[in-house]
Amino acid sequence: MKTKLIVLSATAALAAGCATTPPESPYYAKSVAYMKAGFKDRGQAKVSERIEQDSLQKACSAYKTDPIPKDLAESMQAEQMATIKPPSDGKYLGDWKSGEKIAQSGQGGQYSDDPKRPSGANCYACHQLTKEELSYGTIGPSLFNFAKVRGFGPEIQKYAWNKVYNSHAYSACSSMPRFGHKGILTEQQIKDVVALLMDPNSPVNK
């Protein structure tokens, strides 16, 4: 057990080091090589998806400890905005009750999860959404009364859709997952989460 804990600690340290070390650093390549040697594809957890970075992630790693230059941040946000696909039927709202279940679920992405089952968004891990839920994270802002404060109109609905689909379109290097861009949630699931935020009958807006 002691040996296992040491290995797990070392793995975690390598992962953290890779996330905070600029890609041009020689240590970055070594960290990636060590992790690729230690990690293997297992179930739906693929090495390429966990370790290899796209252009956005590489840029964010490069500025992990420094402010991103304004012009670069704007360019990154524009690039991510271009990835957002609107709902195929033009309707942004689904079922808020299903959206609440998705917000509560952390299912999906792990090797032991059934890939045939839908993933969750795990929204409460970072946000407050309803006053009934007492267990929530504070990494992200509170979303309680989201539409009650901002309005229920189509522009806010579109904003909510875009934000869930790819939050980096509004804030480069956001901590929020790119739920639509990375295929974590389906189109219908995103609609349901947006309904949770926007529906006047949702507990978010009570």
Parent domain of 20: 2-52
The domain spanning residue 118 has which CATH number? 1.10.760.10
Task: Say whether both 46 and 121 belong to one domain.
Answer: no
Contact yes or no for 59/72 (Cβ under 8 A):
yes
Each residue of 134-188: pLDDT tens digit?
A: 999 999 999 999 999 999 999 999 999 999 999 999 999 999 999 999 999 999 9
Residue 78, domain member (yes or no): no
pLDDT beyond 50 at 6: no
Each residue of 181-206: pLDDT tens digit?
A: 999 999 999 999 999 999 999 999 99
Task: Say whether both 28 and 120 belong to one domain.
Answer: no
pLDDT band at 16 (very low <50, low <70, confident <90, very high): very low
Distance CA 42, CA 44 (A): 6
Each residue of 26-65: pLDDT tens digit?
A: 777 787 788 778 788 888 878 777 778 899 999 998 898 8
Distance CA 27, CA 30 (A): 5
In sequence order, what are the beta bridge partners of 45? 42
Residue 129, domain member (yes or no): yes
CA 46 centroid distance within chain: 17
Distance CA 110, CA 112 (A): 5
Residue 136, domain member (yes or no): yes
Percent of the chain topping pLDDT 70: 88
Task: Say whether both 118 and 175 belong to one domain.
Answer: yes
Q: Looking at per-residue confidence, does 166 or 9 come out higher?
A: 166
Number of domains observed in the structure of the chain: 2
Residue 89, domain member (yes or no): no
pLDDT at 32: 77
Backbone angles phi, psi at 170, to 5 degrees: -115, -25
Token duo for residue 176 = 């929020």
In the chain, what is the straight-line distance between the N-terminal and C-terminal CA atoms, in Å?
A: 49
In order, the DSSP letters of 42-88 are: BTTB-HHHHH---HHHHHHHHTSSSPPPHHHHHHHHHHHHTT----T
Task: Say whether both 46 and 112 belong to one domain.
Answer: no
pLDDT at 21: 54
Element (H, E) at 11: helix 2-20
Residue 191, domain member (yes or no): yes
Site of tokens 């609609």: 191
